[in-house]
Amino acid sequence: MKLNKKKIVIVISLAIVFALVNNCFNYLSSNLLTKEKHLEIRDETTFKTSGYWVIDPISIDGSAVGMGGHDWTWVEFQSWFGGGNGSWSNPYIFENITINGQNSTNCIVILHSNVFFIIRNCTLFNSPYNNGNGAGISLYDVNNSQIINNNCSFNNGNGIRLSYGNNNNFTGNIVSSNSVDGIYIEAAQNNTISENTINGNTYAIQSSGDSNSFIGNTVNFNDVGIDIESSNYNVISGNNINNNSFDGLSLNDCNSTIFSGNSIYNSQDGLILIGSNNNTFSNNKIYGITEIGVTLLANTGKCANNLFYNNNFTNLSGINAIDNGTNNQWDNGVIGNYWHDYTGSDKNDDGIGDTPYQITGSAGSQDNYPIWDDGPEQPKSDITIIIVIIIASVVGAVGVAVAIAIILRRRMRGEGVISKEAVEPQKPPEKPEENE
């Protein structure tokens, strides 16, 4: 008995020691991990590859000469200068800069420049109205710039303004809540405006000039979405132009524009063409428009030879299209457009309506190949089904009667009747008795 009591005491003691050691180990591990985690967080938040500068507005004139001229040589000696030599392979860099224009001057102004440069990750706000010419970034007679991932919002004029420049690229910028335009382009060529978020301005994009591309932009909650004037050979593709108060897209005196893969939703008017010719519109969705989806107006020009195909027009509250131009085509000879209010049919189920869709307007236009699908064929009526069942029943009954008659006839002839002997096993013949 005493031995058993000693064993119990030893076991209990060992259990207590084990529990204490385990708790100490957990405590030490937890504290060490916490300290390491704090060290990691501290390193992440304090280590930066470059500084963030809050500076006064910048003005650069690439043509400036003499002492005090703010040319690109001057830029190289500024504390906020990010490097580069202005070549294609090593452009000048402005980055991580915050500038408050204090409603008195543009945040960044660059004039008469042909060098290559990048402005990126900058916040530029509160530039003045200046008769509509103020901007967070103002470029005049500038080529070869890249304006990337900046926030040019809350300016009293424009977010970004470009006048008379070529080969510039505006990508990934937030350009919102500016009093005039988000992005303004004047008489500029071969520029790319892509993947920008442009919300809450008077005009999201207002542009004139040839061979510019507007690709993949988000254009929401402006008074007017995109307004292009006096321009040729532009590409407008993959933009989401939604919830703008008046026009989604307006083309005035524009020729040979490619407008494809865009969405225009919930504006007063979707697309307006004024005196614009030889433009192509395909694979767009124009829907939820309260007044007119597409309007073609001759005005002082013709508004002729525009082509529309494979577009979706679904405007339940308004008119899908009005054509007051000349010789505009609403199909490409093979396929037309989807019209939510098409009243024809598609009897051969080829996805094309059997009768044309008539376009409202003085031109008397029509879509000869409207996209339409009646859905699967309707099931046969109940009467047809009943008749088929009756016929099948009669045919089945006749078949049964014929089969019975054939069997009876065979029995009467003894054909096909299986005798009892045929099914009972035959006894083997008895063995003859042997002669004694």
Strand ranges inside 164-234, DSSP E? 169-171, 181-186, 192-194, 197-199, 203-208, 213-215, 218-220, 224-232
pLDDT reported for residue 420: 40
Question: Per the structure block, which two tokens stand in for 17?
Answer: 């020691």
Cα angle value 286/291/175 (rounded, 5°)? 60
Helix (H, G, I), strand (E, B) or coil at 169: strand
Handedness of CA 276, 277, 281, 285 (dihedral sign): positive
- 243 and 124 in a single domain? The answer is no
- 234 and 196 in a single domain? The answer is no
pLDDT reported for residue 18: 55
**Residue 397 lies inside a defined structural domain of this protein:** no
The residue from 170, 201, 232 where one domain ends is 201
- 257 and 183 in a single domain? The answer is no
Q: What is the pTM of this model?
A: 0.76
- 191 and 219 in a single domain? The answer is no
pLDDT reported for residue 399: 53
- 149 and 214 in a single domain? The answer is no
Burial of residue 436, with CB atoms counted within 10 A of its CB: 0-12 exposed, 13-18 middle, 19 or more buried = exposed
**Residue 327 lies inside a defined structural domain of this protein:** yes
Question: Per the structure block, which two tokens stand in for 301?
Answer: 């020009």
- 226 and 151 in a single domain? The answer is no
The residue from 156, 177, 201 where one domain ends is 201
- Domain ranges, residue 96: 50-201
**Residue 424 lies inside a defined structural domain of this protein:** no
The strand order across the sheet containing 92-95 reads 92-95, 117-120, 145-148, 169-171, 192-194, 213-215, 235-237, 258-260, 280-282, 307-309
- 176 and 266 in a single domain? The answer is no
Q: Alpha-carbon distance 306 to 365, whole Å?
A: 12
Question: Per the structure block, which two tokens stand in for 136?
Answer: 């967070």
- 57 and 186 in a single domain? The answer is yes
- 193 and 225 in a single domain? The answer is no
Question: Per the structure block, which two tokens stand in for 269?
Answer: 């008017």
Helix (H, G, I), strand (E, B) or coil at 406: helix
- 125 and 228 in a single domain? The answer is no
- 225 and 324 in a single domain? The answer is yes
The residue from 201, 220, 252 where one domain ends is 201
- The b-or-e profile of 210-240 (16+ CB within 10 A means b, else e) is bebbbbbbebbbbebbbbbbebbbbebbbbb
Q: Alpha-carbon distance 60 to 136, whole Å?
A: 14
User: Where do we find the tokens 């103002």?
Assistant: 138
Q: Alpha-carbon distance 428 to 420, whole Å?
A: 17
**Residue 425 lies inside a defined structural domain of this protein:** no
**Residue 58 lies inside a defined structural domain of this protein:** yes
Q: Taking the CA atoms of the chain, what radius of gyration do you get in angstroms?
A: 41
Helix (H, G, I), strand (E, B) or coil at 419: coil
* Contacts (Cβ under 8 Å, ≥6 apart) of 49: none
- 121 and 212 in a single domain? The answer is no
pLDDT reported for residue 50: 32
Q: How many domains does the chain have?
A: 2
**Residue 5 lies inside a defined structural domain of this protein:** no
Of the CA atoms within 13 Å of residue 311, those in its CB half-sphere come to 29
**Residue 140 lies inside a defined structural domain of this protein:** yes
**Residue 276 lies inside a defined structural domain of this protein:** yes
pLDDT tens, position by position, for the chain (436 residues)? 444 555 554 555 555 555 554 554 454 344 433 333 333 322 332 322 234 789 999 999 999 987 778 999 999 999 999 999 999 999 999 999 999 999 999 999 999 999 999 999 999 999 999 999 999 999 999 999 999 999 999 999 999 999 999 999 999 999 999 999 999 999 999 999 999 999 999 999 999 999 999 999 999 999 999 999 999 999 999 999 999 999 999 999 999 999 999 999 999 999 999 999 999 999 999 999 999 999 999 977 789 999 999 999 999 999 999 999 999 999 999 999 999 999 999 999 999 999 999 999 999 999 999 999 877 666 555 555 555 445 545 555 445 444 444 544 555 555 444 344 433 444 444 544 544 3
